[in-house]
Structure 1
Amino acid sequence: MKKSVFLLKVIAICFLVIWLSVEGWALKQFLTSPISSLSQAKVIDIPKGASSKAVAQLLYSERLVRHPSWLRWYFRLTGNAHKIQTGEFEIHPSWTVRQLVDELTKGKNVAYPMTFIAGETFAQSIEKLSSMPKMQHTDLTMATLQAALGVKASLEGMILPETYFYVAGDTDLSVLKRAHEDLQTILDKEWQQRSAGLPFKTPYQALILASIVEKETGFAPERPKIAAVFINRLKKRMRLQSDPTIIYGMGARYDGDIRKKDLLTKTPYNTYRINGLPPTPIALASADAIRAVFHPAQTKALYFVANGDGQHRFSNTLAEHNRAVREYLIKEKEVAKSTGSK
């Protein structure tokens, strides 16, 4: 009888040792192996106030961990049970448990890009902003925007066109504020370092011209020369005669063509009919365009015309300019003829 009891005890101990070995190996695998067999990362949203148990269960339900109870134990053992951040996290199945916990406690939420495009209007930017996912959208009235940005007059051109990142729950106003602050930063910096002899009384006047430069060319290397042409004209009290300003002044009436009557119609933005600068920017000006206006090229050019390849030909005199225009028109006709277009 005693031998039987002893044998049973030995068998029980053996089973316990085997079980502990298996569990120990499984635990070791849990801690050192990838957390999941999934092939792609997943984004999970950890709600505010979620306990470590709830987080572990959420990850398990998304097939991102195999043992939620062990993960909960690891949270407690490492002192991270109350350090889990809220919000969206991109979880990679190749992570170890340690990497997973590090990411969940550092609070690096998924960031979404919002890009304001240089050359677009403020209204176009607001329309795009209103469609961004995961963002908290507010009632963006003119009064709300002016108050939020601290702008008393027109909002046109009053944000810097760059890519801004936000996390779920950020407001559209918070993104606009950052874009406006970035614009003010670059304007203040360039104003302090501006070239001598510029015909601007305020940074805002320079921003107006930068928006025109932005619309005149998408080729960044020639922007200082485009800026110089307009600055030379302002110094000589010549009208800017910029087609993009006519288009902006036409608003919804613009159908893709500028006609003679449009050139003759006086609006606050028709620089063929008004002297000096228009009252506001006509688009979002990039950092390159702003720098070009504050640091224009050294040239006596007063005219420019497209040369057909996305760049421009510059002239010092009207006679030179007229020849360049004729050559451009001849080139355009030859291209149209070769392609069969009218």
Structure 2
Amino acid sequence: MSPQKRKHGFGLLFVATALLAGALGYWAVNRYLGFADVPLAGLDAGDSVRVERGDSFARVLDKLHEAGIPAGQRVEWQLLARQLGAAGKLQVGEYALDPGTTPRQLLLRMREGKVISHRITIVEGWNMRELRAALARAQPLEHETAQLDDAALMAALGQPGVHPEGRFLPETYVYTRGDSDLDVLGRARAAMAEALDAAWESRVPGLPLRSKEEALVLASIVEKETGIAEERPRIAGVFVRRLELGMKLQTDPTVIYGMGEQYAGNIRRADLATDTPYNTYTRPGLPPTPIAMPGAAALQAATHPAQGDALYFVAVGDGSGRHVFTRSLAEHQAAVREYLQRYRQQRRQAQ
């Protein structure tokens, strides 16, 4: 073969090799891109995968397979993880595997620690029994307090000897798998301490309250008396004026709290006359502890009560939850009669 033909043959071989390499590269790029941005198969709503401390990337891929994602394409997973800077940097936690999720999206979530978050809401006006029951139902929260009584629970929170009622701020708290009910309670306790401190520091001068602890007790009563936001300062004002005058507070929610599990949904005259540490019909002043979890608005109402001259209030009785505020006992008794008349009329209509 002549040198010229040999040179021509080498040229054709080089071109063919280059074309083949280009084709293979194009195929590889397309395959890679087709993998990275195509939704994963085998996913159902609610699926998730957990990355635990010490998991290798290979172990995470095994877990994805166990979660329903077809096996294979491990090379593509590894290449994508390197490109995204996720290899060796997957954060511990639980990650959603929602239908439509792509490998790129999933690895970015894992690299950035965008774990599934769960929520629990502490409702304004709940008592400690209701709060503990809600925590016991919450999933996937770890339950560390089930065997602790209230005293042991508060000791575990670093508050030995403190009564737990009213110590946890009603809010929605976000947690992730692996968190415990003790974690949530610790955050709620700290949030209440901060909110109470803020309310007490900004309180109006001259309140008949000796401490922020008494403000917390008053706020819990206000919380139980009304769900109407604009009424809270007015109701707090009534109780503040009663305390100033040495009048008994005479508030039903404290009686109910003192009855405990004996309360069956209705207060009788005998209950109002039965003395307990929480019966504000038989005892003057504030009860010894809060009776519920007051929200931030109730704390503000207790420390910033509305001015006025009302010493009494009673429900309107029209289903709105609102109250009639009066200055004298005679006016109050007339409002009570109107309430009872509406109540009886509604019962007759219901029957």
Identity %: 41
Task: Tell me the TM-score normalised to structure 2 length.
Answer: 0.87
Match of 2:257 in 1: 248
SS at match of 1:130: helix
The answer to whether the 8 A contact 1:35-1:65 is kept is no
Equivalent in 329, 333, 336 of residue 318 of structure 1: 329
Partner in structure 2 of residue 141 of structure 1: 149
For residue 121 of structure 2, what is the aligned residue in structure 1?
115
- Aligned partner of 1:286 in structure 2 is 295
Q: Residue 183 of structure 2 aligns with which residue?
A: 174
1:22 corresponds to 2:27? yes
Partner Cα separation in structure 2 for residue 60 and residue 117 of structure 1: 40
Give the one of 324, 332, 336 matched to 2:347.
336
Q: 3-state SS of the aligned residue for 1:119?
A: coil
Task: Indicate how the Cα distance of structure 1 residues 65 and 192 shifts in structure 2: closer, same or farther if over 3 A, else same.
Answer: farther
Deviates more, 1:241-250 or 1:93-102: 93-102
Of the three residues 196, 200, 203, the one matched with 1:187 is 196
The answer for the alignment partner of 1:101 in structure 2 is 107
- 147, 154, 163: which is aligned to 2:163? 154
RMSD after superposition: 2.8
Deviations 1:233-270 (A, max 9, x none): 11110000001111111112111221121111111111
Say if 1:328 and 1:23 are closer, same or farther in 2 by CA, change over 3 A: same
41 and 65 in structure 1: CA distance in 2 versus 1, 3 angstrom threshold: farther
Q: Distance between the aligned counterparts of 1:156 and 1:39, measured in 2? A: 42
The answer to whether the aligner puts 1:85 opposite 2:91 as a matched pair is: yes
1:289-316 Cα shifts (integer Å, max 9, x gaps): 1111111111111000000221100001
SS at match of 2:119: strand
Does residue 262 (structure 1) correspond to residue 267 (structure 2)? The answer is no
Q: How many aligned residue pairs are there?
A: 339
User: CA–CA distance in 1 between the matches of 2:125 and 2:154?
Assistant: 21
Tell me: CA distance 1:57–1:153, structure 2 relative to 1, closer, same or farther (3 Å).
closer
State the Cα distance separating 1:143 from its structure 2 match.
3.6
Deviation (angstroms), 1:46:
1.7
Q: Deviations 1:211-249 (Å, cap 9, x if unpaired)? A: 111111111111111111111111110000001111111
Residue 339 and residue 135 in structure 1: after superposition, are their counterparts in 2 closer, same or farther (change >3 A)? closer
Give TM-score scaled by structure 1 length.
0.90
Where in structure 2 are there 5+ consecutive unaligned residues? 1-8
Say if 1:148 and 1:177, in contact at 8 Å, map to a contact too.
Answer: no
Counterpart among 205, 208, 219 of residue 210 in structure 1: 219
Deviation of 1:144 (Å): 2.7
Residue 307 to residue 25, structure 1, CA distance change in 2 (3 Å):
same
- Structure 2 equivalent of residue 277 of structure 1: 286
Q: The residue matched to 2:28 in structure 1 has which SS?
A: helix
1:285 CA displacement? 0.9
Q: What does residue 44 of structure 1 align with?
A: 49
Contact 1:60 1:68 in 2 (8 A): no
* Secondary structure at the counterpart of residue 76 of structure 1: helix
Q: Report the more deviating stretch, 14-23 or 123-132.
A: 14-23
Q: Which moved more, 1:231-240 or 1:102-111?
A: 102-111
